Each structure stands twice: as structure tokens, then as C-alpha cells.
């Protein structure tokens, strides 16, 4: 199973740890673009118009300052750097050993700075808008959309589920195609956008605590003990199943 997550806007800067080593990250085929994006973001973040170019709130001065030392700042695992609502609900540290191993194997975070990461990959805290256009690189979402198929297509084994917990912005940079799309399930949270991230974190936590279901119907059944679920088939080939999910009271 492949579980796709968005990155977290909330990030915690590691206090200690080795510097960023792009060559050690998962999906090494992404290294050339990662190098270009990291170098460009680091340079731009120190310029007067950084907030405008990077499409970052100009009040986030500390985040821009962190960007200027991406290659030398301490790193920690992505599961510790990402500390927003979704990742608080996932709470990797409290999982048992077997569940942590599944999380590290199954979860992929789609990132504006790194393209795609596993939870055990070591990264610094950063702030990058995937909708920004970087000088010399281009529209970041488009650039990752060109590169991610080579990495993520290979990460999905035949007849495996793709459980998609990404927001629409990050979902646009890679979509399963062909046979992979037949078992692509998009997790939605009806009528509760303010709790969507939390619910998707709970769904991910629930899934990594047992062996992977193999079909969309088995996924819905697996989650039905703790969630009210409604599974809707794709409207046409190449589109995802929709799994509306609400935590039971």
C-alpha cells in the first residue's frame, strides 16, 4: 500500500542533527531537481523580494530566515519536522515497532522542496509554496509533475492500493495512471474542512497498525470499525474512488 500525504505547514526546526544530505533521501532519481530547488530557494530567501517571489506571507520572517540555511541547518526525520494537525493525529512516536515500520514503508509525503519523501528521511524545516515560480527552474508544481512519475510509479506494486490523503494542490503533481488508478482511493472528509487534516492523520494511523487491505472495498471495511465511511466508485476510468470518512463519536 502507498499512503500519500501532504506536507505540514507547521514544522519544527531540529536543534541538532547532521546537515542535509540530498543523496541520502528516498527516490534518488529526484536528486538533480532537488539540488536546483534547494539552492534556488536558499539564495532567493535572502533577497529583499523573497516573500513575493516565493509566494510566502511576508510576516513569516523566521521561515524565510530558515530557508537561507537549508544546506547547513540541522535535520531530523520528516516525521519529526512535520508537526501540523495531520502529523499530530498520526503521532508516529506512539506507534508500536511494527506499525512504525509500516508507516516508514507505506507513507510518502509529497513536498514542494523535495518532491517526495519517506517519513524516515532527514530534512531541515523549510517554507516553500508549491505554486511559486522559481527563476531558472519554472513553475514548481509543473516541474515536480514532470519528475514524480519516474519515482512514484515504481513505488506502487501491482495490485496495491494507493490511499490518497493529499490536498488538491499536492494531488495535482502526481496521479496514478493505468492499472495503478484502478486501486486509487481519495480520502475525503465531508462537510468538515477544518477537521480534514486531523481525520486524514487518524486514517493513516489506523491503516499502518495492521496489514494492508488489497481492494477499495476491503479498505472501507477496514476503516469502518472506527469511522463512518461511504465508498463511491470512480465516475470514469483513470479517476479515483472516493472514500468519505468521518471519525465515529
Q: What is the pLDDT of residue 191?
A: 81
Q: Is the pLDDT of residue 14 over 70?
A: yes
pLDDT digits (tens, 9 = 90+) for 31-49: 999 999 999 999 999 999 8
Band of pLDDT at residue 192, cut at 50, 70 and 90:
low
The residue among 196, 194, 214 whose CA lies nearest residue 204 is 196
The structure's pTM equals 0.95
Q: What is the separation of C-alpha 168 from the centre of its chain, rounded to a whole number of angstroms?
A: 12
Band of pLDDT at residue 13, cut at 50, 70 and 90:
very high
Band of pLDDT at residue 11, cut at 50, 70 and 90:
very high
Q: What is the pLDDT of residue 58?
A: 82
Band of pLDDT at residue 60, cut at 50, 70 and 90:
confident
CB-based burial label for 39 (10 Å; 0-12, 13-18, 19+): middle
Task: Name the one residue in this structure whose C-alpha cell is 508537526.
Answer: 83
CB-based burial label for 75 (10 Å; 0-12, 13-18, 19+): buried
CB-based burial label for 43 (10 Å; 0-12, 13-18, 19+): middle
CB-based burial label for 97 (10 Å; 0-12, 13-18, 19+): exposed
Band of pLDDT at residue 3, cut at 50, 70 and 90:
very high
- The order of strands in the sheet holding 227-232 is 115-118, 107-111, 2-5, 162-164, 184-188, 241-247, 227-232
Band of pLDDT at residue 25, cut at 50, 70 and 90:
very high
Band of pLDDT at residue 173, cut at 50, 70 and 90:
very high
Q: Is the pLDDT of residue 132 over 80?
A: yes
Q: State the average pLDDT over residues 90-118.
A: 98
Say if CB 183 and CB 240 are below 8 A apart.
Answer: no
Determine what percent of the chain falls in helix, strand and coil, rounding each to the nearest 5: 40, 20, 40
Band of pLDDT at residue 61, cut at 50, 70 and 90:
confident
pLDDT digits (tens, 9 = 90+) for 203-230: 999 999 999 999 999 999 999 999 999 9
Q: Chain-wide mean pLDDT for the chain?
A: 95
Amino acid at each position: 500500500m502507498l499512503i500519500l500525504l501532504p506536507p505540514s505547514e507547521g514544522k519544527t526546526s531540529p536543534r541538532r542533527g547532521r546537515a542535509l544530505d540530498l543523496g541520502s533521501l528516498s527516490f534518488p532519481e529526484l536528486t538533480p531537481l532537488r539540488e536546483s530547488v534547494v539552492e534556488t530557494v536558499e539564495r532567493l530567501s535572502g533577497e529583499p523580494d523573497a516573500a513575493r517571489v516565493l509566494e510566502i506571507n511576508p510576516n513569516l520572517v523566521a521561515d524565510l530566515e530558515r530557508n537561507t540555511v537549508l544546506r547547513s541547518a540541522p535535520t531530523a526525520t520528516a516525521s519529526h519536522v512535520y508537526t501540523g494537525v495531520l502529523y499530530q493525529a498520526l503521532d508516529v512516536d506512539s506507534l508500536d515497532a511494527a506499525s512504525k515500520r509500516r508507516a516508514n514503508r507505506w507513507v510518502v509525503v509529497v513536498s514542494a522542496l523535495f518532491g517526495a519523501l519517506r517519513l524516515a528521511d532527514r530534512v531541515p524545516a523549510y517554507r516553500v509554496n508549491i505554486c511559486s515560480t522559481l527563476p531558472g527552474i519554472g513553475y514548481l508544481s509543473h516541474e515536480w509533475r514532470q519528475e514524480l512519475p519516474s519515482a512514484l510509479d515504481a513505488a506502487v506494486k501491482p495490485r496495491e492500493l494507493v490511499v490518497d490523503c493529499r490536498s488538491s494542490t499536492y494531488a495535482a503533481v502526481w496521479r496514478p495512471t493505468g492499472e495503478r488508478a484502478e486501486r486509487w482511493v481519495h480520502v475525503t472528509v465531508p462537510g468538515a474542512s477544518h477537521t480534514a487534516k486531523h481525520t486524514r492523520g487518524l486514517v493513516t494511523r489506523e491503516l499502518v497498525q495492521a496489514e494492508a487491505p488489497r481492494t477499495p472495498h476491503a479498505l472501507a471495511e477496514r476503516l469502518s470499525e472506527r469511522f463512518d465511511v461511504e465508498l463511491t466508485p470512480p465516475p470514469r476510468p483513470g479517476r479515483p474512488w472516493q472514500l468519505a470518512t468521518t471519525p465515529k463519536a
